[in-house]
């Protein structure tokens, strides 16, 4: 895979001579044969792959199966045989065919099957919007001398990438998906290779990572173009969990040749991958590359500016004339975008090489910032679909301790820890950003492991709050600005879900599977029901965001204003808000100065706001909560010893191969960012229902573990880290 040689989140090889970038380190590309090799023998022809496209006829209300089957056979021959197709054991086709095999030994058959009304088809839906019903499709081909069969799990669903012209002064187009005719908000992350040595990746670990995406209410992952086309097992899991896949072709951040041999190799690869993968209902879009259009448009490397015409021709020849043409031939059921980011529907008009492929008016954007108030939502782009954005943090101390020399495990960082950061200037950047909001250990202090543990905790707070601010904005930003054409954001995929090694990373899950704090945060933000609290034009705003397609619901809304030193609210506002499906509703707004005056809040730094909604949706009583820091935590007046108590642990209850415990906590004072983890030498692995949370008085946290751990072991190994302690060390 390309990323075996270099990337800013993983292992790197010295590229100084190529791009003059100050990065170096080990490189571990897999060598030799690492997948099974099979010898297939036949006399006439055998099945190779099948591509079933599901089509819903809105007039007859019936599903159609447009099935293309590919064969390998004796060159330049005609093979008489019988083709049989069944679905969950019910015969759909049993017919004789004359199969023509060309000079290359390839043949194909295509048939359209109208699903009989005697088979009640249940559509496949993404996570959070319906069931993921899968049917086993079996294809058998029998000739005089051969018999072969294929089995595939398929789902019935339709896909539409909606890019409609919007009624705005400045030209703009929408960019969102419909599944089975229903608009969805795409919520999720970006997927990178899960292991530096891909052959070492276990199926259990792969399953856990995708389960973690599902549990965090994600419905989409973007398989990034710098890794590999993932295994069959990856896409099978995505099908089961309802995780939509944005599939990049494997080209990323580089300039590729277009000589005859390379294009022939690429053409074969693209055809093989589409035929291998196209039966998966989870895959919803093909993208030609990652950021290569942007690289040429913005002249990322001096060679581009020097040979611009050459690289523009190469780009069009590879991604448009070759890959786009093959995708359209092989799979007309899914959309193709030439790059990510791109300007979507207007890319063709710009000859697929826009001067600005990151417009907020159309297509998708990638957004990273190195300056400004990144805890403020106003730094984020008001784009149609944000397919990359993110911030770095460090993984847990216990993970680093497994892999690093103990002499490296100190802060301020030494060369050993600095080597783990492969983003140029990354340590200085993350430290600078964190220092705007959080008290940090002094750079001239005596290095210690305790300071490193604190820095890790603070880095995860920073990542969580920055992602929270941006993502909540993307979730509520569904109105279109009539003048600028910006807004109508219907997709947010943060960078990145997983990590390839223990290091500084943008990931929300550290190498090995432990959830970082930010993963718990996006779980709440990506919920189908979100209460969002933010500041705009010196007003406190509370909005309710719904992604479901159910009926209207009237929610009770409670807004509580707190001071940091008192558990009782300074003021409480109560109201009701009528909401509609797949919509955003304004539940509360108040002039901030007036609110602070009414609440006897002396300064923004001394107060925060909590919002809570409650209502019945689809016969289920739902409660959602959120918080908004009004000021800067560096200047907050926090109690020094808030006294958090572990009151009890109840359970376990065995459920779905896991053991469930309830951990009851209480505190004598308000505590932000309460973090539960197990000590370094513990072998306990668990996921919590919430973590990094704001605790006002009491909390019951559910612990999900793969093993039945004795309560005494949990109590003796559970560590509770709180911001108040770190705050008073370094303020």
Which residue numbers are catalytic?
291, 388
- The answer to whether the beta carbons of residues 377 and 470 sit under 8 Å apart is yes
The side-by-side arrangement of strands in the sheet containing 182-183 is: 159-162, 176-179, 182-183
C-alpha span between 270 and 109 (Å, rounded): 20
Q: In what order do the strands lie in the sheet with 365-367?
A: 336-337, 283-287, 244-248, 220-223, 186-191, 491-494, 386-389, 365-367
Distances (CA, A) of 384 to 95, 104, 127, 234, 363: 48, 45, 21, 28, 6
What is the 8-class DSSP label of residue 165? B
CA gap 294, 67 in Å, rounded: 37
Q: In 3D, which of 633, 631, 559, 563 has the Cα closest to residue 601?
A: 563
Sign of dihedral through CA atoms 404, 408, 410, 415? negative
End-to-end Cα separation, the chain, in angstroms: 45
Phi, psi of 480 (to 5 degrees): -100, 135
Dist. CA 272–CA 560, nearest whole Å: 57
d(C-alpha 169, C-alpha 633), whole Å: 41
| Token pair listed for 414 | 């030494």
HSE-up (13 A, CA, CB side) for residue 18: 10
Q: How far apart are CA 445 and CA 429, in angstroms?
A: 20
């Amino acid at each position: 895979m390309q990323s075996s040689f270099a990337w800013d989140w993983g292992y790197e090889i010295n590229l100084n001579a190529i791009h003059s970038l100050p990065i170096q380190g080990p490189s571990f590309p897999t060598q030799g044969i690492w997948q099974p090799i099979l010898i297939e023998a036949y006399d006439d022809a055998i099945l190779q792959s099948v591509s079933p496209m599901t089509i819903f006829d809105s007039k007859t209300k019936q599903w159609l199966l447009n099935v293309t089957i590919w064969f390998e056979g004796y060159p330049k021959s005609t093979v008489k045989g019988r083709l049989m197709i069944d679905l969950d054991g019910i015969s759909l086709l049993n017919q004789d065919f004359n199969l023509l095999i060309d000079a290359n030994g390839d043949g194909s058959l295509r048939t359209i099957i109208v699903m009989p009304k005697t088979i009640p088809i249940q559509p496949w839906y993404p996570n959070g919007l319906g069931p993921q019903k899968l049917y086993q499709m079996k294809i058998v081909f029998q000739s005089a001398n051969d018999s072969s069969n294929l089995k595939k799990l398929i789902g019935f669903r339709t896909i539409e990438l909606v890019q409609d012209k919007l009624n705005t002064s400045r030209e703009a187009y929408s960019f969102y998906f419909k599944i089975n005719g229903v608009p969805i908000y795409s919520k999720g992350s970006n997927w990178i290779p899960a292991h530096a040595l891909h052959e070492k990746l276990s199926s259990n670990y792969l399953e856990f990572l995708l389960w973690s995406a599902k549990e965090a209410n994600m419905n989409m992952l973007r398989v990034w173009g710098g890794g590999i086309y993932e295994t069959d097992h990856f896409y099978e899991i995505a099908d089961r969990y309802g995780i939509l896949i944005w599939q990049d072709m494997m080209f990323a951040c580089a300039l590729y040749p277009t000589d005859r041999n390379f294009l022939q190799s690429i053409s074969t690869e693209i055809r093989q991958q589409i035929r291998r993968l196209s039966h998966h209902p989870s895959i919803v879009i093909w993208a030609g590359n990652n950021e290569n259009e942007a690289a040429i448009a913005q002249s990322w490397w001096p060679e581009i500016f020097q040979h611009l015409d050459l690289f523009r021709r190469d780009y069009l020849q590879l991604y448009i004339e070759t890959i786009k043409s093959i995708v359209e031939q092989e799979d007309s059921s899914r959309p193709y975008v030439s790059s990510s980011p791109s300007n979507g529907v207007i890319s063709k008009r710009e000859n697929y090489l826009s001067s600005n492929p990151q417009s907020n008016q159309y297509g998708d954007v990638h957004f990273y910032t190195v300056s400004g108030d990144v805890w403020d939502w106003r730094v984020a782009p008001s784009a149609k679909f944000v397919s990359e954005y993110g911030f770095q943090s460090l993984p847990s101390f216990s993970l680093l301790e497994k892999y690093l020399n103990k002499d490296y495990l100190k802060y301020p960082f030494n060369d050993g820890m600095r080597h783990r950061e492969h983003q140029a200037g990354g340590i200085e950047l993350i430290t600078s950003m964190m220092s705007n909001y959080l008290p940090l250990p002094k750079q001239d202090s005596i290095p210690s492991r305790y300071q490193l543990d604190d820095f890790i905790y603070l880095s995860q707070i920073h990542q969580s709050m920055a992602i929270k601010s941006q993502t909540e904005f993307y979730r509520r930003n569904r109105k279109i600005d009539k003048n600028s054409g910006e807004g109508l954001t219907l997709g947010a995929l943060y960078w990145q879900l997983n990590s390839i090694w223990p290091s500084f990373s943008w990931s929300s899950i550290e190498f090995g599977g432990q959830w970082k704090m930010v993963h718990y945060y996006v779980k709440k933000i990506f919920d189908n029901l979100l209460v969002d609290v933010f500041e705009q034009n010196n007003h406190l705003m509370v909005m309710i965001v719904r992604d479901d397609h159910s009926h209207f619901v009237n929610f009770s809304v409670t807004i509580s204003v707190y001071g940091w030193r008192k558990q009782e609210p300074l003021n409480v506002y109560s109201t009701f808000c009528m909401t509609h499906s797949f919509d955003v509703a304004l539940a509360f707004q108040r002039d901030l100065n007036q609110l602070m005056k009414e609440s006897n809040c002396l300064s923004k730094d001394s107060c925060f706001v909590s919002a809570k909604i409650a209502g019945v949706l689809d016969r289920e009583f739902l409660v959602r909560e959120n918080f908004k820091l009004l000021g800067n935590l560096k200047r907050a007046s926090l109690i020094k010893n808030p006294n958090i108590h572990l009151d009890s642990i109840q359970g376990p209850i065995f459920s779905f191969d896991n053991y469930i415990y309830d951990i009851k906590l209480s505190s004598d004072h308000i505590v932000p960012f309460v973090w539960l983890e197990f000590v370094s030498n513990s072998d306990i692995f668990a996921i919590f229902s919430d973590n990094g949370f704001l605790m006002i008085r009491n909390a019951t946290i559910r612990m999900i573990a793969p093993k039945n751990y004795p309560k005494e072991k949990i109590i003796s190994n559970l560590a509770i880290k709180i911001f108040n302690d770190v705050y008073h060390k370094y303020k």
